[in-house]
């Protein structure tokens, strides 16, 4: 997975997904291979909510030339140590360290683009002067942020844990077996009871395999409605 930005003044970034072909050679972005999607500033904010553990998952759809591509960022379970990124047919798993690198990168890109992509267009000379001042200010802010980040890391981590606990109060981890699936729901067998479960009520990453016992992190209101928990 490659995260890139063509210009600091563009209000978006690109995520390029590649995988190995049957012959063992990686797809080449330069040959227009793989899958590339454009991520807006608003979508970066929503992705960061997941990476900051303010929510367990986020999903959306992109439509380009009548082709629909689904994308999602989801923690594997309530421990939030493994992140799954799904873009169309491409999937990528990130460990805790890789996820933190991605989080810091997106924060940096978002701050940079807010500075450069939201200001009015100026003349060439005005742009040069303004850009130099903004770069100087941005560099100064980055130094201050680096110093502050070291001191505030423990507090941020503690806040993340509290937020995660608040989210998990409304969820339960239950065992189930997938029997069928549609675009918006999954047919799951719970203790010999078959229930269609909307995907929007599932907050963890699951393996889309039938007849495999696995855990599902599901909203309590749905489980209670279907008499799956007391």
Residues of the chain with pLDDT under 50: 146, 150, 152-163
Q: What confidence score (pLDDT) does residue 161 get?
A: 44
- Distance CA(76)–CA(214), nearest Å, equals 12
The class of domain 171-225 in CATH terms is: mainly beta
Query: pTM (2 decimals)?
Result: 0.53
Are the C-beta atoms of residues 175 and 190 closer than 8 Å to each other?
yes
**Cα(118)–Cα(216) distance, rounded to whole angstroms?**
41
User: How far apart, in whole angstroms, are the C-alpha atoms of residue 51 and residue 99?
Assistant: 7
The segment(s) of the chain belonging to CATH 2.40.50 are: 171-225
Give the per-residue pLDDT at 210: 86
Considering the chain, tell me which residue range(s) the CATH 2.30.31.10 domain(s) occupy.
2-119
| 49 contacts 31 by C-beta, under 8 angstroms | no
Return the pLDDT at 123.
54
Residue linked to tokens 């210009």 = 7
Yes or no: say if 61 and 71 are a contact pair by the CB < 8 Å rule.
yes
pLDDT digits (tens, 9 = 90+) for 189-226: 998 899 999 999 988 878 888 888 898 989 999 999 99
Topology of domain 2-119 in CATH is Transcriptional Co-activator pc4; Chain A (2.30.31)
Contact status, residue 94 vs residue 103, Cβ threshold 8 Å: no
Q: Which two tokens stand for residue 181?
A: 């699936």
């Amino acid at each position: 997975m490659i995260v890139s930005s063509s210009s600091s003044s563009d209000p978006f970034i690109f995520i390029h997904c590649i995988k190995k072909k049957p012959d063992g050679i990686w797809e080449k972005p330069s040959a227009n291979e793989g899958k590339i999607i454009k991520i807006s500033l608003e979508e970066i904010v929503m992705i960061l909510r997941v990476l900051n553990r303010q929510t367990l998952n986020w999903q959306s759809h992109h439509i380009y030339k009548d082709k629909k591509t689904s994308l999602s960022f989801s923690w594997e379970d309530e421990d939030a140590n493994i992140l799954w990124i799904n873009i169309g047919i491409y999937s990528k798993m990130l460990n805790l360290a890789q996820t933190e690198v991605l989080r810091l990168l997106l924060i940096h890109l978002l701050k940079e683009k807010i500075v450069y992509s939201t200001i009015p267009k100026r003349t060439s000379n005005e742009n040069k002067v303004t850009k130099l001042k903004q770069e100087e200010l941005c560099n100064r802010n980055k130094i201050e942020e680096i110093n502050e980040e070291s001191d505030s890391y423990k507090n941020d981590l503690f806040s993340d844990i509290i937020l995660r606990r608040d989210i998990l109060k409304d969820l339960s981890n239950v065992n189930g077996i997938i029997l069928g699936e549609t675009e918006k729901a999954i047919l799951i067998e719970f203790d010999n009871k078959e229930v269609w479960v909307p995907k929007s009520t599932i907050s963890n990453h699951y393996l889309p395999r039938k007849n495999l016992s696995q855990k599902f992190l599901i909203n309590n209101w749905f489980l209670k409605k279907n008499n799956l928990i007391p």
